[in-house]
Amino acid sequence: MSAHLTEEEQLEALKRWWAENGKSLIVAAILGVGGYMGFNAWQDDRQASAEMASSKFEDITELMSKQEQLSEADTATVAHLAKGLKADHGDTLYGVNAAMLLAKQAVEAGELASAEAELRWALEQSGSDNVSHLVRVRLARVLVAQGKAEEALTLVAIEDQGAFSSLYAEVKGDAYVAKKDNAKAAEAYQAALAGLSGNDMARAGQIRMKLNSVQPAAATEEKGA
């Protein structure tokens, strides 16, 4: 009898516990399953988005590799695709590369203000150090071309330049040339040469030409000082 009563008491206790906690358990289970399904859906959505961005970027590169000089129609198509990448995938490397491409087109069209705007956007969005260094150097070049040499020097005045020290030094030299400070330009070009890898012969030749163009003037300036 006592055993029977104990079972009834246990059953009653279970009923009371279920009445108090059953609903919350069901809700937790639903949320758990829903959260798992939601996470999977989020992953699937990100995967689909990345694949779409990759496909668009492949379309761009395919168009650009067709010929050395793009036709007017192909140029417009590339710009349209790049703007779409920026709008839909601006927080990815595809969006940053699209902005850099639009900046390149703007430079070729002589639209330096538009190129500057694209590169400033890309610099804000770029998460990778290597990408941000490349964008910063290109933006500095555009600033120099616009007569904003002082802004360019400020932009490249960063301590951690990674493997881009030679590029930074070269654009500093260009900025000093624009400021007619040949002595500092020569110093920057020498630093650019010193930072080159041994197999980068093409850039070495270009930088030496720049250095030779300012060295006589730099020597004259030093003598005058």
Average pLDDT taken over every residue of the chain? 77
Residues 84, 49 contacting (CB under 8 angstroms): no
Please give the residue that has the higher pLDDT: either 163 or 147.
147
d(CA 47, CA 44): 5
pLDDT digits (tens, 9 = 90+) for 206-217: 999 999 999 875
d(CA 95, CA 215): 41
Instruction: Give the domain ranges of the chain.
Output: 54-127
Please give the residue that has the higher pLDDT: either 78 or 24.
78
For the beta carbon of residue 213, count every other beta carbon within 10 angstroms: 15
What percent of the chain is predicted at pLDDT more than 70?
Answer: 63
Query: Is 40 a residue whose pLDDT tops 60?
Result: no
Q: Nearest Cα to 115, choosing from 69, 81, 82, 90?
A: 82
pTM over 0.85: no
pLDDT at 25: 54
For 71-109, b/e burial (b = at least 16 CB within 10 A) is eeeebeebbebbebbbebbbebebbbbbbbbbbbbbbee
